[in-house]
Structures are given as C-alpha cells and as structure tokens.
Structure 1
Amino acid sequence: MTQRLDKQQLRELAIAVSLPAGANPSPATVDRGFGLPTGLYLATVALYLGFIGVMAASFLNPELAIPMVIFAGFVVFAFALAGYWPRMKPANDTAPPDWAQFRARGIETSSGRLTAGEATVQVLLLPVLILGWGLAVAVIVALR
C-alpha cells in the first residue's frame, strides 16, 4: 500500500546514483500490458456496441443516426487507443496472455489475486448490465 513520506524520510530513503561520463543508461522496459486476453476486450467492445445498437433500433429516428454513429465511434476509438498503449515506446516485452495462460494464472490486482472467472466477471459485469438496461428500455418503448 501507500504511505505519506515527509521530506526528511524521503531524504533518508533516497539513493542517488551518478553514471560515469559518457555512459549510456540501458533503455527502460515497461510493462504496459493489462494482463487480460484480447477476447475480453473484444467482448467488452461488442457489449457496448450492442447497447448502442439496441438504442438505435429502439428509437428509430433519422435525427439520431449521427449521434449513434458518434457514440459508436467513441467506443471503438477508446478501445483502439487502449490497444495501442502496450505497443508504445519504450519497448514493451509483454504480450497479452492467451486463454490457457489466463485460466492457469489468473490476474494480480491491487486488491489481490483473481481467478480467470472472477476477473472475467469483473471486466464484463458493467457492459452486461448496461446492455441489460438498454434491453429493458427497448421493452418499455415497445410496450408503450
């Protein structure tokens, strides 16, 4: 966990290292992987786009075509940006795990280790609830 350090405590813990003249520090390797298989991201995108599709079908109105396309574009672009994040420099040597690795190892979170099933539920819970809400609205609109 984290704790607040005042300046004196920080000075006691700090270690300064100087490189010799002309020395090149080794390039940093950064782990930007999220530790989840790609299929979970695709399922999340599909559920969000499904919600937008249900809303577009429920309120068939030509005036809503452009806003729905914009909403869908935001979802696609947001997840595409997150897909590019692990590929940024400095080099990232980690690759997303496949399903077998994910099932075997699970994932480490800030609140502890989760099994693959628990992590899948956490990742997909909100998109499933949003899609369910959209379907409930669609039923209300259809019965109106």
Structure 2
Amino acid sequence: MSKMLTTEFVQEKAQIVKAPEAKNRVATNVDRDFGLPKTLYGATIACYLGFVAITASAFANPELIIPMVIIAGIIVAGFVVPGIWTQLKPETKSSNTVSYDRFNGGGIMTHTGPLKARDAATQVLILPVLVLFWGVAVVTIVALAS
C-alpha cells in the first residue's frame, strides 16, 4: 500500500552520501551479440525486403508508396539499430562478430546445448523464408485470379 510521506519525515530519514568515484566503477563485459555471422542477418533482411519488393511491385499503386517505404524503413531499422548497439563502448567480446567459417565449423552454444551451424541457420532463416514464399504465393494467387 502507498502512503503519503511528509517532507519532515523524509528529511529525518534521508541520508546524503557521496557519489561513487569513477575509478571504482566495475567494467561490465556484456555480450551484445548473438554469436551469428553477418551473412545470416543479411539473408534475413534480404528475405524481408524481398517480400516488400514483391508485394509492392505486384500491387503497384501510388497510394501504397508511403506505407511500403515505412515498412522497408522499419525492417532496415530493426537490423541497423541492433548492429550499431553491438559496436557501442565499452568494448566487449561481442565487438568482433563471428566469421561464417568459424560459425560453420563450431556451430553455436544455446541455452539448451550446442547447435550445429546448419540447424542454427535453419532456425534463424525459417520465418524470413516463409514470409518471402508467402508473398510469392499471394502474388501468384492474385495473378491467377485476375
């Protein structure tokens, strides 16, 4: 439950302490990366932008230009902003992204155990590829129906 605290009560109980010195700060080593190579992120964004391009070209309408540009911008921002986030200071071990060869050779460690590169790539790309195929299917159905 909440209750009203008077100024007198707060001044009586409050303690003023010095701010901690900068040299006493603990350096954090936060992993800001998912341990996946850039090629998987590139393939993901290519599939999503491919979906937007397919639907925009199939349903070409001047009224759809602004929504399609907004959707493409949101997709790009959804990958660029986290990409910038991984490069921020302080330097961390995630600042060096995993190469595709290293990923292909060692796979990735997940919460439930190690995962082969093929399986990890399948998990990462299944939704973007299905979205792309969905766009192709919708455009095909519309083309056959008209």
TM class by shorter chain equals 0.7 to 0.9
Q: Spell out, residue by residue over 1:109-143, the C-alpha distance to the aligned partner (whole angstroms, 9 max, x if none).
A: 12221100000000000000000000000001111
Q: Spell out, residue by residue over 1:23-75, the C-alpha distance to the aligned partner (whole angstroms, 9 max, x if none).
A: 62442222211100001101100000000011101111111011000000000
* Map of 2:45 onto structure 1: 45
Q: How does 1:29-40 map to 2 (within 5 A)?
A: 29-40=29-40
For structure 1, which segment, 106-115 or 22-31, has the greater mean C-alpha deviation from structure 2 after superposition?
22-31
* Map of 1:72 onto structure 2: 72
Length-normalised TM-score, structure 2: 0.79
Q: Spell out, residue by residue over 1:70-121, the C-alpha distance to the aligned partner (whole angstroms, 9 max, x if none).
A: 0000000110011012112332133111111001110111222110000000
Length-normalised TM-score, structure 1: 0.80
* Map of 1:62 onto structure 2: 62
Aligned partners of 2:118 and 2:59: how far apart in 1?
35
> Does the 8 Å contact 1:44/1:124 carry over to 2?
yes
* Map of 2:140 onto structure 1: 139
Q: CA RMSD for the aligned pairs?
A: 1.6
Question: Rg bigger for which structure?
Answer: 2
Q: How many matched pairs?
A: 124
Q: Any stretches of 5+ residues in structure 1 without a counterpart?
A: 1-20
> Does the 8 Å contact 1:106/1:114 carry over to 2?
yes
1:128 equivalent to 2:126? Answer: no
1:85 equivalent to 2:67? Answer: no
Identity %: 48
Q: What amino acid sits opposite 1:51 in the alignment?
A: F
Q: Any stretches of 5+ residues in structure 2 without a counterpart?
A: 1-19
Aligned partners of 1:45 and 1:75: how far apart in 2?
7
Aligned partners of 2:131 and 2:113: how far apart in 1?
26
> Does the 8 Å contact 1:47/1:128 carry over to 2?
yes
The secondary structure found in structure 2 opposite 1:108 is strand
